[in-house]
Amino acid sequence: MRGGRAAVFLDRDGTLNEEVDFLRSPGEIVLIPGSAAAVRAFNASGIFTCVISNQSGVARGFITEQDLIPIHAELERLLALEGAKLDRIYYCPHHPDAGNPPYNIACDCRKPGTGMLRRGERELGIDLERSVVVGDRLSDLRAGIAVGATTVLVLTGYGMRALRECEAEQVKPDFVSPSLAGAVEFIMHTLEGVQTKNA
């Protein structure tokens, strides 16, 4: 949405919270140090802050969509303890060639697809070209690039592997940071002067 508001779209596992392969329970949610403070800084600046997360564990039968409800509630609880909140949590439960119906489909929401970003654009009036996508995987960066957003690669989670993949495939994130906390200044500078939800 041209002329819309700014947003930061954050991957979940490996970006906000510690990477756990196919995280299955609320007790496995552990925030990466500094991530709550980063979200709090975005909140204070009136920047929409959304999670966009591939959750193919649903398709694979490891968890259900119902299981994600307490997991995301715990994520929000831990953030709230540090004065931070998310405006939306979007997830994709699909996988194109693994798992069980009705989830084993090719969809537009699984990153590097842009469906979750487009949903945020529609629901919140976001200008994706003025927004920032942050993640620890090549798929996060490709999704951001596809909508013209600024991209940030964090080296937490699978970030080091993604950095090697970027070099091999000549994908260039706009910024590489040791963590989400380390990217706050870059993100705030990138979004300086853009319309926020408080405008």
Is 11 in the active site?
yes
The Cα 158–Cα 160 span in angstroms is 6
The closest alpha carbon to 126, from 188, 50, 193, belongs to 50
List b or e across 112-139, with b for residues whose CB sees 16 or more CB atoms inside 10 angstroms: ebbbbbbbbbeebebbbebbbbbbbbbb
Please tell me which residue in 13, 127, 136, 140 is annotated as part of the active site.
Answer: 13
Is 13 in the active site?
yes
Please tell me which residue in 11, 127, 136, 140 is annotated as part of the active site.
Answer: 11
7's tokens: 């947003």
- By the 10 Å C-beta count (0-12 exposed, 13-18 middle, 19+ buried), 37 is classed as middle
Q: Catalytic site residues?
A: 11, 13
